[in-house]
Amino acid sequence: MARVILLAGGNLGDVRQTLRSAQQLINSRIGAVLRCSHRYESEPWGFEASERFSNQALEVSTDLSPEEVLDAIRSIERELGRNRAAETLEKASAGMRYASRPIDIDIIFYDDRVIESEQLTVPHPRLAEREFALVPLCEIVRERRHPVSGLTVGQLLDALRATQSQKQCEE
């Protein structure tokens, strides 16, 4: 069995209920949810939106391959109201890389594997830049080492906060 660390979040609709539903669907379609963090609120990252995001980290035991996990995640997102085609249009019209969404589920880690394919990059490539991901991850896997950098999730968060603090001092 593989251990997969997922980050689920969203900022449209009843996000609390959507995250509950996502957890139930992950448990039934991907594997047993072993641990999950509390929900953490954050400002949108990489774009402007009036709605704050709610994010939650989950540790899942699965016998699915990384690609099968990704397929299951995309199916769950669609079922819970995510419309990637509409998001693409919104991003293009606003000239942004990201858009608001009812649910987004990312694979952060899949065991200690490093995966780079057209469909999937694991560990998540922008993890070290995203406090909204690192905070809930620290709650459940603080000592887990990033298979590329060798830093723990807690060390990644500390480094990000130190960088942010330095930038604020320079402003």
Residue 60 buriedness (CB in 10 A; 0-12 / 13-18 / 19+): buried
Where in the sequence is the domain holding 54, given as residue range(s)? 2-125
- Asked if the model's pLDDT at residue 60 lies above 90, the reply is yes
Percent residues over pLDDT 90 in the chain: 76
- Quick one: angle between helices 153-170 and 131-141, nearest 10? 150
Q: Is residue 163 part of a domain?
A: no
Percent residues over pLDDT 70 in the chain: 96
Q: Is residue 105 part of a domain?
A: yes
Q: Is residue 130 part of a domain?
A: no
Q: Is residue 134 part of a domain?
A: no
Q: Is residue 66 part of a domain?
A: yes
Round to whole Å and give the CA distance between 41 and 91: 22
Q: Quote the number of domains for the chain.
A: 1
Q: Is residue 99 part of a domain?
A: yes
Write the CATH number for 117.
Answer: 3.30.70.560
Q: Is residue 161 part of a domain?
A: no
Q: What was the pLDDT predicted at 150?
A: 95
Residue with tokens 């939106």: 49
Helix (H, G, I), strand (E, B) or coil at 4: strand
CA dihedral over 39, 43, 120, 153, signed as positive or negative: negative
Q: Is residue 162 part of a domain?
A: no
The predicted-structure confidence for 76-86, as pLDDT tens digits, reads as follows: 999 999 988 88
- Asked if the model's pLDDT at residue 37 lies above 90, the reply is yes
Q: What was the pLDDT predicted at 84?
A: 85
The predicted-structure confidence for 44-57, as pLDDT tens digits, reads as follows: 887 777 899 999 99
Mean pLDDT of 93-103: 82
Mean pLDDT of 1-7: 97
Mean pLDDT of the chain: 92
- Asked if the model's pLDDT at residue 26 lies above 90, the reply is yes
